[in-house]
Amino acid sequence: MKRQELQVAALENGTVIDHIPSAKLFQVISLLHLEHVHSAVTVGYNLKSKKMRHKSIIKIADKFFTDDEINQLSVITPNVTLSIIRGYEVVEKKEVKMPEELIGIVKCDNHKCITNNEPMRTRFRYLGKERGTLQCQYCNREIKLSEVKLV
Amino acid sequence: MENRSLVTIAHHSRQKIEYLIRMAQEFEKCPNRRLLDGRIVATLFFEPSTRTRLSFETAANRLGAKVIGFADPKVTSGTKGETLKDTIMMVSNYADIIVMRHHLEGAAQYASEISPVPIVNAGDGANQHPSQTMLDLYTINQTQGTLENLNIYLVGDLKYGRTVHSLLTAMRHFNPTFHFIAPDELAMPEHYKMYCSEKGIRFVEHQDFDADTIAGADILYMTRVQRERFTDLDEYERVKDRYLLSKAMLAKAKPNMKILHPLPRVNEIEYSIDDTPYAYYFQQARNGLYARQAILCDALGISLDDIINDKTIINN
């Protein structure tokens, strides 16, 4: 892609998260704690996209995420494209994979769950593609992936 | 250090269940011992229950342990806003083991993660009640001579009844056929039926409740339709009397069939049934003592061998 065609400036080194549904952009920023990053973060919001009609994109300079950090996105934006940039080149593309356990990310929708009544982190287990649910490891309630709310 | 807490029976292997049954059998032979001499058992009942609490306290007392605790959450620091964590940490300074009942689901699981002493779940909201399941399993084994290949009929409140959910999960090792008899409003939840399908557990759903329906039962497990679990009290009034067992309905019952009930019962079992050989609910409650003695000892790291070779038995 020629650099002058980009709507958002190219990175020398860092991570690009592309094809974010625009409605989820701010959740992604929050989940990855991007408000605490010191290097340059460029955000494109409501950009035209061939794939999705509208999308958002985040480019974070000089920041690389662990697999665990990236996999947290699976609950809100499982289909983002993640590219690792070094020397203006894409050296690696990463996929977001649903981790087996999600700690401190998803809110339990059971108001009688201990997690909603005590200062503590939630813990959810992914029950697999067929079931398509997350199960609270405290009250055992299952939540459909599509209905997940973040803490 | 290994966490010996008992939060749920859902993950117990077949071997573990059989092991605990064997332990309870030893306690049925000799329930009075000094095995827990010098130990303190704390019973923390954040939600009211007299039966379960008395059962656990008797279990502890008959093994020589001392008991501390509270039965009324209104007197605890919880009313001052103390977190569950702080209460547990505080009590763990005094007791060797904590038995707790709490109205919030997952409370026992959380306690087991933060407590330096073992936690025994005496019931967490509508979630788990493992000691009830243990005594139910013990009773079924006692009356049928086995846990294998039985026809188990679950009647009444199958939606909110945690005892039936727990029993269903625990019985998965033993090739049962379940029969669900409940009104539509209180039917066995979908995710439990899915669980049965996934684990290859056979189940049949019935709408009727009469002599013919229950003729094939080895175990008839009656449950109370619980008013406190209803948000809509009109709905409660409509369903509460529908699934009552009368003596006439036992006309075709198998000779080995036993009627179980987690108690307290209201009117779901006709009193005239108490004198028939089918009634077993009071013996079932007594078995709670032995099952809970086994649970306490196992959580404290005492083995079946220790119990078999126990020199502290009090014979009277």
The CATH number of the domain holding residue A25 is: 3.30.70.140
Predicted ipTM? Answer: 0.88
Interface check for B85 against chain A (CB to CB < 8 A): the answer is yes
Give CA–CA dist B258/B281, Å, rounded: 9
In this structure, the answer to whether residues A11 and A81 fall within a common structural domain is: yes
Interface check for B199 against chain A (CB to CB < 8 A): the answer is no
In this structure, the answer to whether residues A145 and A71 fall within a common structural domain is: no
In this structure, the answer to whether residues A54 and A70 fall within a common structural domain is: yes
The mean pLDDT value for A100-124 works out to 95
- Give the model's pLDDT for residue B48: 83
Within 8 A of A115 by CB-CB distance, chain B residues are: 106, 110
Rg of the Cα trace of chain B? 20
DSSP H or E segment with residue B107: helix B107-114
Rg of the Cα trace of chain A? 17
Cis peptide before B264 (omega within 30 of 0): yes
Whole-number average pLDDT of chain B: 93
The mean pLDDT value for B256-283 works out to 95
The mean pLDDT value for A15-26 works out to 92
Contacts of A92 (CB under 8 A, 6+ apart): A83, A84
The mean pLDDT value for B196-207 works out to 93
**Nearest by Cα to A24 from A47, A45, A41:** A45
In this structure, the answer to whether residues A68 and A138 fall within a common structural domain is: no
Size of interface A-B (CB pairs under 8 A): 47
pLDDT of residue B209 exceeding 50: yes
- CA distance between the termini of chain A: 38
**Nearest by Cα to B123 from B146, B140, B147, B99:** B99
Domains defined along chain B, listed by start: 14-128+288-308 (3.40.50.1370), 131-284 (3.40.50.1370)
Residues of B labelled as active-site residues: 51-52, 80, 101, 129
How do residues A89-102 score in pLDDT, each as one tens digit?
999 999 898 888 99
Q: How confident is the model at residue A21 (pLDDT cuts 50, 70, 90)?
A: very high
pLDDT of residue A4 exceeding 50: no
Q: How confident is the model at residue A2 (pLDDT cuts 50, 70, 90)?
A: low
What's the helix, strand, coil split of chain B in %, to 5? 45, 15, 40
In this structure, the answer to whether residues A38 and A83 fall within a common structural domain is: yes
The mean pLDDT value for A9-17 works out to 90
How do residues A61-96 score in pLDDT, each as one tens digit?
999 999 988 988 988 898 898 999 999 999 999 989
How do residues B141-200 score in pLDDT, each as one tens digit?
999 999 999 999 999 999 888 899 899 999 999 999 999 999 888 899 998 999 999 899
The mean pLDDT value for A4-28 works out to 85
In this structure, the answer to whether residues A40 and A68 fall within a common structural domain is: yes
Q: How confident is the model at residue A53 (pLDDT cuts 50, 70, 90)?
A: confident
The mean pLDDT value for B264-281 works out to 94
In this structure, the answer to whether residues A15 and A58 fall within a common structural domain is: yes
A4-18, B238-252, B264-278: least confident range:
A4-18
Q: Do B105 and A138 touch (CB under 8 A)?
A: yes
User: Cα–chain-centroid distance for residue B271?
Assistant: 23
Number of other residues whose CB lies within 10 A of the CB of residue B293: 27
Q: Do A113 and B110 touch (CB under 8 A)?
A: no
In this structure, the answer to whether residues A106 and A71 fall within a common structural domain is: no
Whole-number average pLDDT of chain A: 90
- Give the model's pLDDT for residue A6: 63
- CA distance between the termini of chain B: 38
How do residues B29-87 score in pLDDT, each as one tens digit?
999 999 999 999 999 999 888 899 999 999 999 999 999 999 887 777 777 789 999 99
Largest CA distance in chain A: 55
The share of chain A scoring above pLDDT 70, in percent, equals: 95
Within 8 A of A142 by CB-CB distance, chain B residues are: 191
CATH of residue A140 = 2.30.30.20
In this structure, the answer to whether residues A17 and A72 fall within a common structural domain is: yes
Within 8 A of A138 by CB-CB distance, chain B residues are: 105-107, 109-110
Q: How many domains does chain A have?
A: 2
**Nearest by Cα to B6 from B99, B116, B102, B103:** B99
Contacts of B179 (CB under 8 A, 6+ apart): B151, B152, B153, B154, B203, B204, B205, B206, B213, B216, B217
Domain encompassing residue A131: 101-150
Torsion of CA B204, B171, B166, B110, to 10 degrees: -140
What's the helix, strand, coil split of chain A in %, to 5? 20, 35, 40
How do residues A135-145 score in pLDDT, each as one tens digit?
999 999 999 98
In this structure, the answer to whether residues A56 and A109 fall within a common structural domain is: no
pTM confidence score? 0.88
> Which letter does DSSP use for residue A55 in this model?
E
Strand partners, B33: B313
DSSP H or E segment with residue B102: strand B97-102
- Give the model's pLDDT for residue A50: 84
Interface check for B51 against chain A (CB to CB < 8 A): the answer is no
- Give the model's pLDDT for residue B58: 98
pLDDT of residue B121 exceeding 80: yes
The share of chain B scoring above pLDDT 90, in percent, equals: 76
Chain A nearest-CA distance from B126, in A, is 9
Phi, psi for B85 (deg, rounded to 5): -55, -50
- Give the residue ranges of DSSP H helices in B171-247: 190-199, 233-239
- Identify the residue whose tokens are 């009656």: B222
In this structure, the answer to whether residues A30 and A86 fall within a common structural domain is: yes
- Give the model's pLDDT for residue A7: 64
**Nearest by Cα to A110 from A66, A67, A140, A77:** A140
Number of other residues whose CB lies within 10 A of the CB of residue B214: 25
Angstrom CA distances, A70 to A67, A128, B308, stand at 5, 18, 54
- Identify the residue whose tokens are 């923390």: B44
Give CA–CA dist A19/B134, Å, rounded: 52
- In the sheet that A133-136 helps form, which strands lie side by side, from edge to edge? A101-103, A123-126, A133-136, A142-144
In this structure, the answer to whether residues A64 and A8 fall within a common structural domain is: yes
User: How many residues comprise chain B?
Assistant: 316
